[in-house]
Amino acid sequence: MARSRQAKKKSLIQVLALVVAAVIVIVAVIVAQNWWNNRPDPEPRDVSINATVGDRSIEISPYQICEAGVPCPEGDIPSLEVGPDEELTLEIPRAIYNHDWSVVTIYDNPAANDQSNHGPYDTTSLALQGSKDPLEKGGERPRLVVVEITSMMIGHNDQGEETVYQTVWSLNARGADALGK
């Protein structure tokens, strides 16, 4: 009978140890997930988009950043040539895709230009063809010239206060020669 009590006591201690370990793991997971979901986004100027064509890749920094309603100075537009039969892949970072954003594609035939809007978590990457099907039977294939991604982001102004910034990333898809560089 004494052995039976000791066995029950030992069994009870093991079950309690397992319950305590499970509670610790659950609390740790909840705390880590809460931190992950509520961590601050980077400043808009620090957010870049990765662009890839075949084995060529560049990082696109913002072309324009300004407070909402304020004129934006223009920056440099990076170039990555996209051939007519190639695909441009843009990897959109979480700081952009976690809220509304839009993309404008500009072709050498204005009738082929396009704009699409994306909601939070809709997509994390874009694949764009270097050219589209001809707009008219027997016509030329419109070639991709420029891609622009626009997002309203929260950042800090010179006084350290949170403010809304309009941020634009731009890519010249025709190479440096197309811009006269």
- The per-residue pLDDT for range 153-163, each reduced to its tens digit, is 999 888 888 89
- Say whether both 25 and 56 belong to one domain: no
Label each residue of 112-149 as H, E or C.
Answer: HCEEEEECCCCCCEEEEECECCCCCCCCCCCEEEEEEE
**pLDDT, position 157:** 87
Q: Are residues 96 and 66 in the same domain?
A: yes
Instruction: Output 122 or 136, whichever has higher pLDDT.
Output: 122
> Both 72 and 131 in a single domain?
yes
Q: Indicate whether 143 and 169 sit together in one domain.
A: yes
55-111 residue pLDDT tens: 999 999 999 999 988 888 889 999 999 999 999 999 999 999 999 999 999 999 999
Rounded CA-CA distance 106/87 in Å is 15
Does 180 score more than 70 pLDDT? no
Full domain range(s) for residue 126:
44-179
Q: Are residues 90 and 11 in the same domain?
A: no
Same domain for 121 and 94: yes
Indicate whether 73 and 31 sit together in one domain. Answer: no
> Do residues 73 and 135 both lie within one domain?
yes
Do residues 93 and 65 both lie within one domain? yes
Tokens (6 digits) for 3: 């052995």
Tell me: do 69 and 22 sit in the same domain. no
SS3 60: strand
Strand-pairing partners, residue 114, are 105
* Same domain, yes or no: 21 and 97: no
pLDDT of residue 57: 95
In the chain, the number of structural domains is 2
Alpha-carbon distance values, 62 to 17, 41, 82, 92, 172 (Å): 53, 15, 20, 13, 13
* pLDDT for res 37: 67
| pLDDT higher than threshold 80 for residue 121 | yes
